[in-house]
A = this chain, B = another copy of it.
Amino acid sequence: MIEWIAFDADDTLWENERYYRDTQEKLGQIVAPYLNGENIEKILYQTEMENIPHYGYGLKSFGLSMIETAIQLSNQTISSREINQILHLIRDMVNHPVEVFSGVIETLEQLKSGYKLVVITKGDLLDQERKLANSRLSNYFEWMEVVSEKDEATYKSLLNRHGIQPESFLMIGNSLRSDVLPLVNLGAVGVHLLQAYTWEHEKVKNPEDHSQNYYSVNHISELPGLVNTLNS
């Protein structure tokens, strides 16, 4: 019987990746004079992947990667006036509004009396707390955990720490890699929320290999029906 329902935050409860893509586009405009036909997204993504083990996930890590990318691709010729513009891009992201997706509030309203609802997210601690506060959703949740990596080991220790049995735990999120498959491997229920925008890093190469073990929904409003079916 499902007792706990965990939600990923970015791109599950609210818009996130779109802001990163918009910012990347603005970075592309700033560094355009230094690009020799290269694809800024590809170079930035490479820097980000190299930096994750050092800086972790989230806004500040992304910001430092943008600056590093701009300096490298310009062979250290970009001006500090332009780097200052990149600092402004970072600051703008800190203050971006939180757009809760349609259907989220209705879904939480339907689930709140029957289940313990929680949030598990990665990224910057302060930034995720700010977004949860600005979303006005915090009262629905028992707790939010910001973790540095969403892998099996992290979820296992998190479930242990809260005294939760995997069989009673369901997690929904837009990332198969981070929100669904590690939970399935632990014996919990994973639900994949299909979204228009998902970060390249969160994609799984051969999702069909796992397709027997988790559920997929096109919209978060399908969740209450699915949970009812699973618990009946």
Contacts and interface: CB of A to CB of B under 8 A. Distances in A.
B76 A76 contact: no
Nearest to A63: B64
Contacts of A87: 64, 67-68, 71
A80 B84 contact: no
Nearest to A122: B125
A129 B124 CA distance: 14
Q: How many copies of the shown chain assemble into the complex?
A: 2
Interface in A54-85: 54-56, 60-61, 63-64, 67-68, 70-71, 74, 76-81, 83-84
A104 interface: no
Contact of A79 (B68, B76, B124): B76
Given A54-B94, A55-B126, A91-B54, A60 B71 contact: no
A80 B90 contact: no
Contacts of A146: 125
Given A64-B63, A64-B87, A126-B148, A80 B81 contact: no
Listed residue (A79, A126, A146) with the most chain B CB atoms within 10 angstroms of its CB: A126
A143 interface: yes
A55 B94 contact: yes
A122 to B, nearest CB: 9
A42 interface: no
Contacts of A63: 60, 64
A205 interface: no
Nearest to A56: B126
Listed residue (A125, A127, A129, A147) with the most chain B CB atoms within 10 angstroms of its CB: A125
B80 A77 contact: yes
Contacts of A143: 161
Interface in A160-217: 161
